[in-house]
Amino acid sequence: KENCRPDGRELGEFRATTVNIGSITTADGSALVKFGNTTVICGVKAELATPTEDSANKGYIVPNVELPSLCSPRFRSGPPGEEAQAASQFIADVIDNSQIIEKEDLCIANGKLVWVLYCDIICLDYDGNLLDASAFALLAALKNVQLPSVTINEETGSSEVNFKQKNPLMIRKHPVATSFAIFDDTLLIVDPNAEEEELATGTVTVVTDEDDRLSSVHKPGGSPLTGAKLQDCITRAITRQREVKQLIDKVIKSIKPK
């Protein structure tokens, strides 16, 4: 009624969002993202592999979301739980549906050699809205990736890697996830924290890109949404996409090339 949430935000207000790019020097690309207290880090490691016969000209992107016990008392150490698996699947769907990277761009030699990008997304502090933070960290880390140039020696057939000459990835789309919590089947609040997620009757995550294209809508059960409410979410998500893209561009611009 008062348009105010327990942490002082308005219903449609996001938490303070920060991104730090390239902070893990051992990875080929990395990013640390914070939404309020929620903190997620993404490291991308590139490896060479032989493609399968049915996709001879395509590389691979393998995302994995980890929720270690250090990020919240709700998680146990051990094999990935349901929430971590669902988040990994969500990120995999975002990669496939949004064409963030064309898998053909990861091909080095048709049928012989391709890049595999292992994208490890680890939550360091869990305070709600894992999906938005994970998708943001993935995009920022991929923007930071520099791959060495690889040539195949025709005589020996072996690959030669030149670490002195590095090229960035071709990022074709900039998908951004925006999550909403639904209360009493009617009320929508944006960027829910952990407490709000627990109390919500449902959540919905909308993924859009810079062309205002809808990449995916992720709604794991809960309250039904009317068409009009979903349209409101999409409109808000489109605005958020622009804000996030501006933030990433600004941070990348501020990092001077080595």
* The token pair that represents 166 in the structure block: 């590095």
Stronger pLDDT, 151 or 72, i.e. the higher one: 72
* The token pair that represents 188 in the structure block: 């929508």
* The token pair that represents 125 in the structure block: 């502090």
pLDDT of 257 reads 59
Residues 6+ apart with CB under 8 A from 252: 21, 143, 144
Span 72-95, pLDDT tens digits:
999 998 899 999 999 999 999 999
The runs of H, that is alpha helices, within the chain are 82-98, 130-144, 194-199, 227-254
Contact predicate 129/89, CB 8 Å: no
Residue position matching structure tokens 């105010």? 4
The rounded distance, in Å, linking the Cα atoms of 128 and 142 is 23
Span 116-135, pLDDT tens digits:
999 999 999 999 999 999 99
Q: Which secondary-structure segment (H or E) carries 46?
A: strand 38-49
pLDDT of 212 reads 92
pLDDT of 13 reads 93
Between strands 60-66 and 113-125, the pairing is parallel
pLDDT of residue 258 exceeding 60:
no
pTM, rounded to two decimals: 0.93
Domains of the chain and any CATH numbers: 17-255 (3.30.230.70)
